[in-house]
């Protein structure tokens, strides 16, 4: 399933770091950023998470919640969050159902071998629960700032 700007955000409820639960229902009425990352505590994912952490004060002023999603179990996610002081929720989508609903679970290829994996992608959802912006195949450098600009335009 591929989402487009203006589509309703697919429903989700996931366990998240700090003993939290994140859900579409719980975020109703507030805009949020949902970003998918391949694996906790890997160099690219760490850089991306730290960039979002740095952008939190600016995004928070705009009333936006940031949620990171990977298929990691909660234990490595909690360790990752603690190690880097990540205060926003990092959610566990072990069965990849949420990633699939958002179109972030894709066929990848490395050294000629094909496999399924999480594509680094970000979704901005507005207060009405509609997709306001999509960033597929995210390049980490400058991404959090780009998301911040789109949030400002909401």
Lookup result for tokens 């160099």: 43
Distance CA 143, CA 149 (A): 10
2 in a domain, yes or no? no
25 in a domain, yes or no? yes
Backbone dihedral angles phi then psi of residue 122, each to the nearest 5 degrees: -130, 140
Distance CA 11, CA 97 (A): 10
Q: What does the pLDDT average to over 143-150? A: 93
27 closest CA partner among 101, 97, 126: 126
Sign, Cα dihedral of 138, 13, 129, 59:
negative
8 in a domain, yes or no? no
What is the model's pLDDT at position 154?
86
Q: Per DSSP, which regions of 4-145 are E strands?
A: 13-16, 20-23, 32-36, 65-70, 90-92, 105-110, 113-118, 121-125, 131-135
What is the model's pLDDT at position 125?
97
135 in a domain, yes or no? yes
Distance CA 120, CA 113 (A): 19
Token pair for residue 54? 């740095």
Lookup result for tokens 């880097």: 84
- Within 10 angstroms of residue 54's Cβ, the number of other Cβ atoms is 11
**Which active-site residues does the annotation give?**
45
What is the model's pLDDT at position 1?
53
Angle at 109 between CA 105 and CA 113, to 5 degrees: 120
CATH of the domain at 80: 3.40.30.10
68 in a domain, yes or no? yes
Note the pLDDT tens digit of each residue in 75-104: 999 999 999 999 999 999 999 999 999 999
What is the model's pLDDT at position 70?
97
Note the pLDDT tens digit of each residue in 9-41: 999 999 999 999 999 999 999 999 999 999 999
Q: What does the pLDDT average to over 122-130? A: 96
Kindly calculate the radius of gyration of the chain based on its CA atoms and give it in whole angstroms. Answer: 14
Q: Which domain holds residue 102?
A: 13-152
Q: Band the pLDDT of 110: cuts 50, 70, 90.
A: confident
107 in a domain, yes or no? yes
Could you tell me the pTM of the whole model? 0.94
Q: Band the pLDDT of 2: cuts 50, 70, 90.
A: confident
Q: How many domains does the chain have?
A: 1
128 in a domain, yes or no? yes
Q: What does the pLDDT average to over 66-78? A: 97
């Amino acid at each position: 399933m591929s989402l487009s700007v203006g589509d309703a955000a697919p429903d989700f409820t996931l366990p998240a770091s700090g003993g939290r639960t994140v859900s579409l229902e719980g975020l109703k009425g507030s805009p949020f950023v949902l970003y998918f990352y391949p694996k906790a505590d890997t160099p690219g994912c760490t850089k991306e998470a730290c960039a979002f952490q740095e952008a939190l004060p600016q995004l928070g002023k705009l009333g936006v919640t940031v949620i990171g999603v990977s298929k990691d179990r909660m234990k490595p996610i909690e360790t990752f969050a603690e190690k880097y002081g990540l205060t926003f929720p990092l959610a566990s989508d072990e069965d990849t159902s949420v990633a699939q609903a958002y179109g972030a679970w894709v066929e990848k290829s490395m050294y000629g071998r094909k496999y399924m994996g999480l594509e680094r992608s970000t979704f901005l959802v507005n207060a009405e629960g509609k997709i306001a912006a999509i960033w597929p195949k995210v390049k980490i450098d400058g991404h959090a700032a780009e998301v911040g600009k789109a949030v400002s335009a909401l």
